[in-house]
């Protein structure tokens, strides 16, 4: 049983619950895998083996007492370094936050622990979680295990890299503009951005977030199987009164017709041929599984959603964000803010009011569209995963990255769920599809996702490739 780290979370939890494997054995296997491959990846930037084994011992003790340890019994998972974990620094990739030591857990960490998970380590992100590339001045560069020349994605790049390489069975990530969906895409695994309000969030160690992040940023899981996303969503979504946006919505909604829309060039996106082929292939996989798939020319508006989402994310308090980035001195964060200045400033009270008004209108259009279709299939990105640090190559490359990420930036503005399903490789580069559904219908994303997954996925977990 030395290769426990290779198992799905669901299979490992079943073994632990049935006492065929102890949580401590699973934890030791997870720690050994971390020691073996993390030096080449720098996916996990902080972990304490003695604390990991203590958590595992608690799970074993529960089982010995005849108690149910939860859905994720003994499963090693990672959490992103931008959320609170008691006793650890909530750095968000920043030197200026190296001394922000959490005195309590964020709701998602508490929920994972209540479900029996063992927190294996904390994963890297870019400074301020701004970019689709993962490097910073405090923790360094994270590598993509499939090809070190490619970005591991961002901002949950450490999460994507870790789970693809077998460091933990599930990775926690956060997503305001693709930060779960893109690392899953770049690393060849699956990632779920849930509906706003589905998974409770709060970081007591940091100031309250402005309204833009409150209504669009979420926590969610990355994993190697769609079923592991399903069980980790159930674990993470438990009630926590600290998040006033949390909604007690059922995890399973009413049965609907298996009808999907397929859009290759949403709102005029110039989608690369290899990406188009992957999205089309995902549609064929759904058809083989009994779905009706309709090719459509366009979705409801996405470009306008991108414009407003970028303003709410970066324009609200822009000068304060820029001042903090200048104090930090991180080149990638400064490039992100300076490169978007003209798009997000000025952002005054009238702009704020218009953003929130348009959010209601565009969300309504999307929800009406998603009454007709259970899901819509579209690109995760207009291009294959970018070379690492491509956004800092020159101004044209910066613009090219931001244009390609249109499908990721738009969806959070409406608060909708989005699922990345990895479907294959083009050379060493992973490729996949984004599945979007109505609010609180992650179950439909996952249902379609499993049918797509059944058609084949890149092998994982994998050993790092230089």
Nearest CA-CA partner of 433 in 264, 241, 299: 264
| Given the residues 22, 129, 161, 179, the one annotated as active site | 179
Spell 358-395 as b/e; 16+ CB within 10 A means b. Answer: bbeebbeebeebbeebbbbbbbbbbbbbbebbbbbeee
Separation CA 13–CA 116 (nearest Å):
9
**Rg of the chain, C-alpha, whole Å:** 20
Separation CA 71–CA 51 (nearest Å):
21
* 3-state secondary structure at position 367: helix
179 is a catalytic site residue: yes
- What is the Cβ-side half-sphere exposure of residue 69, based on CA atoms within 13 angstroms? 29
Q: Looking at residue 435, what DSSP letter applies?
A: E
Nearest CA-CA partner of 457 in 233, 272, 294, 228: 228
How far from 300 is each of 105, 194, 201, 310, 403, CA to CA, in Å? 38, 20, 29, 18, 18
| Given the residues 155, 156, 422, 460, the one annotated as active site | 155
Number of residues written out for the chain: 466
The C-alpha torsion from 159 through 160 and 163 to 164, rounded to 10°, is -160
- Asked if residue 250 lies in contact with residue 392, where contact means CB atoms within 8 angstroms, the answer is no
155 is a catalytic site residue: yes
Q: CA angle, 76 as apex, 169 and 34 as ends, to 5°?
A: 80
Element of type H or E holding 374: none
| Given the residues 24, 80, 143, 258, the one annotated as active site | 80
Q: CA angle, 76 as apex, 453 and 92 as ends, to 5°?
A: 90
Would you please indicate which residues are annotated as catalytic (active-site) residues? 80, 155, 179
């Amino acid at each position: 049983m030395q290769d426990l780290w290779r198992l799905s979370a669901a299979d490992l939890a079943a073994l632990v619950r049935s006492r065929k494997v102890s949580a401590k054995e699973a934890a030791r296997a997870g720690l050994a895998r971390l020691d073996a491959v993390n030096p080449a990846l720098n996916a996990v930037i902080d972990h304490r083996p003695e604390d990991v084994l203590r958590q595992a011992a608690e799970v074993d003790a529960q089982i010995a007492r005849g108690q149910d340890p939860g859905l994720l019994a003994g499963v090693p998972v990672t959490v992103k370094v931008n959320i609170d974990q008691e006793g650890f620094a909530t750095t968000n990739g920043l030197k200026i936050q190296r001394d922000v030591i959490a005195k309590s857990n964020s709701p998602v960490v508490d929920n994972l622990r209540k479900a029996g998970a063992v927190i294996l380590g904390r994963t890297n992100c870019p400074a301020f979680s701004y970019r689709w590339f993962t490097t910073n001045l405090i923790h360094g560069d994270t590598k993509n295990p499939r090809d070190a020349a490619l970005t591991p994605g961002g901002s949950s790049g450490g999460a994507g890299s870790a789970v693809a390489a077998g460091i933990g069975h599930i990775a926690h990530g956060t997503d305001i503009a693709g930060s779960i969906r893109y690392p899953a895409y770049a690393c060849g695994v699956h990632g779920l951005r849930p509906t706003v309000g589905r998974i409770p969030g709060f970081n007591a160690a940091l100031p309250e977030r402005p309204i833009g992040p409150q209504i669009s940023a979420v926590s969610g899981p990355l994993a190697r199987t769609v079923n592991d996303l399903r069980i980790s969503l159930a674990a993470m979504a438990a009630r926590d009164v600290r998040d006033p946006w949390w909604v007690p919505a059922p995890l399973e909604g009413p049965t609907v017709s298996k009808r999907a829309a397929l859009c290759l060039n949403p709102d005029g996106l110039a989608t690369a041929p290899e990406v188009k082929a992957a999205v089309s292939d995902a549609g064929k996989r759904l058809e083989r599984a009994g779905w009706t798939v309709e090719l459509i020319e366009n979705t409801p508006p996405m470009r306008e959603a991108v414009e407003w989402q970028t303003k709410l994310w970066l324009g609200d308090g822009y000068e304060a964000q820029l001042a903090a980035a200048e104090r930090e001195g991180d080149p990638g964060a400064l490039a992100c803010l300076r490169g978007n200045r003209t798009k997000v400033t000025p952002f005054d009270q009238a702009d704020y009011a218009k953003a929130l008004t348009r959010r209601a209108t565009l969300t309504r259009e999307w929800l009406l569209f998603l009454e007709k279709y259970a899901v819509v299939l579209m690109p995760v990105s207009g291009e294959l995963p970018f070379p690492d640090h491509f956004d800092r190559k020159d101004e044209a490359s910066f613009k090219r990255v931001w244009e390609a990420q249109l499908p990721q930036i738009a969806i959070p503005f409406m608060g909708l769920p989005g699922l990345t399903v990895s479907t294959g490789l083009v050379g060493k580069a992973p490729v996949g599809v984004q599945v979007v559904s109505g609010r609180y219908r992650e179950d439909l994303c996952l249902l379609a996702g499993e049918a797509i997954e059944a058609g084949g996925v890149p092998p994982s977990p994998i050993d790092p490739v230089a």
